[in-house]
Amino acid sequence: MLMFILKRLGLALLVALTVSAISFSLLFLAGDPAVAIAGENASQQDIAAINERFGFDRPLPIQYLDWLRNAVQGDLGMSWYFDLPVTELIADRLSVTMRLGLSAITFALVLAIPMGVAAAARPNSLIDRAALLISVVGQAIPSFWFGLILVVIFSINLGLVPASGNETWRHFILPTVVLGYYATPAIMRLTRAGMIEVLSADYIRTARAKGLGTRKIMFKHALRNAIIPVVSLAAVQMGFMLGGSIVVESIFALHGAGYLAWESISRNDLPTMQALILIFSTFYIFFTFLADVLNAWLDPRLRVS
C-alpha cells in the first residue's frame, strides 16, 4: 500500500508541475503582459518601466523558476486590478467556495447513493423510475434557471432562507442544493449501474444461498465493490464544483473564488487568473489522489496497477 501511495503521489506532483507551467504560460499566451498592464495607448517608456518592474524582460525559463519558487512559498504575485497580493485576495474568497463545494458534494452523495442502491435493488420498479426521472431532470435543468426558481419560491415567496450573501449557514442552503443537485444524476446512475452489475455476481448469489440478510448483502458486500467508481467520480465532481461554481456564486452573491475568477477574466487580471487556475487544478489533483488511495484501500487488487 505504501508503494502504491508513493507512486500516486509522484504522479500527482508531476501533473501539478505540468499544470504550473501551463498556468504560468497564460501570462504570455494572452499577449504582452506589459502592454496589458500599461494599456494599448501607453508609451514605450511606460512599457519598458513595467517590463523592468515585473521582470518581463528576463528569459522566460528564469521567470518561470522564480515564479514557481515564490508560488511554493505562498507568493502568487500582485493583482493588476485590485493592487493587492493575489494570495491575500484568494484567501479571503477561497473559504466561501470550499464551504460551498464540500456541502454540495455531501448533499449529492447523501441523495444519490441511497437512490442508486434503492433503484438497483428493484430494477424497473416505481422507485427505479422515480430515481431515473430525478436524474434526467437534474441534467436537463440549467443551474442558473434552477437557482433563480429556488430563490423565487423559498426566498421571495416563502421567506424561509436568504436569497444572497454568505454570513450564516442558512445562506448556503440554496446554493448547496443547486450545485449538489447538478452532480447528483451522474453519481446516482453510476451507483445504480455498479450495484446491478455486482448483485448479479456469483459471490452475491453464494451469499444469498448461505442465508445472509438482504441488508448485509447490499451494504457490506455489494456496495463496497460498486462504490469504487463512485469515489473516483465524486473526486472529479468535487474538483468541478470548486472550479465551476462561478454561475452559482453569481446568482446567490456569495463572492467566493469562483466569482473572483469571473471578475479577473472580465478585468483582464492575469495574475489572479493564473493563481486561481493553479489552485483549482491543485485541488483537483489532490482529490483525485485521495480517491485513488481510498479505492486501493477498498479493493486491494488496484494496488498492483
Angle formed by the axes of helices 2-29 and 270-298, to 10°?
A: 160
CATH of domain 86-199+228-304: 1.10.3720.10
**Strand, coil or helix: 189:** helix
Q: Which residue has the higher pLDDT, 101 or 245?
A: 101
**Model pLDDT for residues 257-305, shown as the tens digit of each residue:** 888 888 887 777 778 888 888 888 888 888 888 888 887 777 666 666 5
Query: Residues 78, 271: contact at Cβ < 8 Å?
Result: yes
Q: Is the pLDDT at 183 greater than 70, yes or no?
A: yes
pTM (two decimals): 0.78
| pLDDT at residue 305, rounded to an integer | 56
Q: Is 256 left (phi over 0), alpha (psi -120 to 50) or beta?
A: beta
CA distance 258 to 239: 12
- pLDDT at res. 20: 83
**Cα 289 from Cα 197, distance rounded (Å):** 26
Locus of grid cell 454561475: 247
Question: Region 193-212: what's the mean pLDDT?
Answer: 80
State which amino acid sits at residue 225: N
Predicted local distance difference test score (pLDDT) of residue 31: 66
* DSSP letters spanning 247-299: HHHHHTT---HHHHHHHHHHTT-HHHHHHHHHHHHHHHHHHHHHHHHHHHHH-
Rounded CA-CA distance 245/278 in Å is 16
For position 159, what pLDDT does the model report? 85
Cell numbers found for residue 201: 455476481
Name the DSSP class of 55.
T
Cell 430525478 belongs to which residue? 134
All cell numbers assigned to 135: 436524474
Band of residue 107 on the pLDDT scale cut at 50, 70, 90: very high
- What HEC string does 215-257 produce? HHHHHHHHHHHHCHHHHHHHHHHHHHHHHCCHHHHHHCCCCCH
In this prediction, residues 204-209 reach a mean pLDDT of: 79
Q: For residue 136, what pLDDT band results from cuts at 50, 70 and 90?
A: confident
Tally of residues, the chain: 305
Inform me whether the pLDDT recorded for 26 exceeds 80: no
Average pLDDT, the chain: 81
pLDDT-based confidence at 18, cuts 50/70/90? confident
Taking the C-alpha atoms of residue 63 and residue 59, their distance in angstroms, rounded to an integer, is 6
The C-alpha angle 178, 122, 234, rounded to 5 degrees, equals 35
- For the chain, which residues make up each domain, given as ranges? 2-72, 86-199+228-304
Confidence category of residue 244, pLDDT binned at 50, 70, 90? low
- Other CB atoms within 10 A of residue 38 CB: 19
Q: What pLDDT shows up at residue 303?
A: 64
Task: Output the pLDDT for position 36.
Answer: 67
